[in-house]
Structures are given as C-alpha cells and as structure tokens.
C-alpha cells in the first residue's frame, strides 16, 4: 500500500466554476432580439415609404362661389356666423366664473375680427381678508419687523 500514489484529479476546479458561471448567465434573449429587429424594420419601412401629404381645401363650396375673404380667418368666421346661434352677454351673466366653450369661441371670433382691443377688461383680484392687498411696501414692513 505504501507504493500507491494518489490519482491525479480529473476535475479542474477553475474550469468547473467557469462553466457553471457561463451556464447560469446564458439566457434566451432570442425572442427580444427578434422583436427588436422586427420593430426596427417596421420603423425603417414606415420612414422610407411615407405617403405624400394631401392638399385639402377647408371650405370647397365657399372657394367655388367666391365668398372667401382676404384671410383664412375671415372664411372661418363667416362659416361660424352662419352655422351657430348668437350668444349675448346677458345669456352668460348668471353662470358664474367659468364660461362655457361657446363663449370662448365667440370671444375668439371677436378678437380675430376686431383685434386685441376686443378682449374684455380683466377684473382685479378679490381683496384678501386683511383688507388691503399686499404690496412691496407692505412686504418690506413685514420683513423688517421680524
């Protein structure tokens, strides 16, 4: 028995650990790679074969009859004037702070027709409970008193 020598190890520890790490890191990414490739191809095709923009006349009947004014805003306003009911300030007086969308359209039409002077005057902010509004002088007094 004394003449026997231990057998050489058939397993290399370093090689075994490398193979185990490589096997654990190997994932099936082929599905994601295929999906990404297909999306890239679809994007490239949609960029290359983009359809030409279409020319559309906003109001073909108005252009044909010659009722168009000098500007597109005039054409839109004339179409709105014939297709919608008129709203007066008395109609919206009791509705509170938030006006309906139709009032916005009416006001927009007035501004397009008459310019910026058609905007109503803004109302001042309501007074605070303290009475006087806070001004720069009041702010300076408050800051210097602390």
User: For 64-116, how does the pLDDT look when each residue is reduced to its tens digit (9 = 90+)?
Assistant: 555 555 555 555 555 555 555 555 555 445 555 455 666 778 888 888 888 87
In a domain, 78, yes or no: yes
For the stretch 107-146, pLDDT in tens is 888 888 888 777 777 766 655 555 666 677 777 777 777 6
Give residue 73's domain range.
Answer: 60-118
Per-residue confidence band for 45, with pLDDT thresholds at 50, 70 and 90: very high
Provide the whole-model pTM: 0.26
130 assigned to some structural domain: no
Residue 76 and residue 102 share a domain: yes
Interior/surface letters 85-116, b for 16+ CB within 10 angstroms, e for the rest: eeeeeeeeeeeeeeeeeeeeebeebeebeeee
Percent helix / strand / coil, the chain, rounded to 5: 55, 0, 45
Judge whether 12 lies within some domain: no
Is 144 part of a structural domain of the chain? no
- Are 114 and 92 part of one and the same domain? yes
The predicted pLDDT at position 125 comes to: 62
DSSP-derived secondary structure for 58-71:
S-HHHHHHT---SS
* Distances in whole angstroms, Cα of residue 113 to Cα of each of 20, 61, 66, 70, 73: 79, 22, 20, 12, 8
Confirm whether 129 is domain-assigned: no
Mean pLDDT (whole number) for 61-65: 57
Residue 107 and residue 82 share a domain: yes
Number of compact structural domains in the chain: 2
Instruction: Give the model's pLDDT for residue 7.
Output: 78
Residue 140 placed within a domain: no
Query: Could you tell me if residue 41 is inside a domain?
Result: yes
Shared domain for 68 and 100, answered yes or no, is: yes
**Same structural domain, 64 and 112:** yes
> Could you give the CA distance from residue 43 to residue 126 in angstroms, rounded to a whole number?
55
Domain membership flag for residue 75: yes
Output DSSP code: residue 1: -
Kindly indicate the confidence band of residue 34, based on its pLDDT and cuts at 50, 70 and 90: very high
Asked if 85 and 41 sit in the same domain, the reply is: no
Q: Which helix (H) or strand (E) holds 123?
A: none
Does residue 3 surpass a pLDDT of 60? Answer: yes
Q: What is the pLDDT of residue 66?
A: 55
Q: Can you say how many angstroms the Cα of residue 53 is from the centroid of all Cα atoms in its chain?
A: 23
For residue 89, which of 113, 110, 116, 112 has the smallest C-alpha distance?
A: 110
Local confidence band at 42 (pLDDT 50, 70, 90 cut-offs): very high
Task: Check residue 44 and give its pLDDT.
Answer: 94
């Amino acid at each position: 028995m004394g003449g026997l020598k231990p057998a050489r190890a058939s397993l290399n520890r370093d090689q075994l650990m490398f193979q185990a790490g490589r096997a654990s890191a190997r994932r099936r990414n082929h599905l994601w790679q295929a999906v990404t490739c297909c999306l890239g191809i679809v994007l490239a095709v949609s960029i290359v074969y983009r359809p030409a923009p279409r020319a559309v006349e906003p109001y073909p009947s108005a252009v044909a009859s010659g009722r168009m004014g000098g500007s597109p805003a005039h054409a839109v306003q004339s179409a709105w004037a014939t297709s919608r009911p008129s709203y007066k300030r008395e109609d919206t007086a009791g509705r509170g702070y938030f006006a309906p969308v139709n009032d916005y359209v009416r006001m927009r039409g007035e501004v397009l027709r008459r310019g910026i002077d058609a905007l109503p005057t803004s109302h001042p902010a309501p007074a605070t409970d303290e009475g006087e509004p806070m001004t720069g002088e009041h702010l300076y007094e408050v800051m210097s008193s602390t």
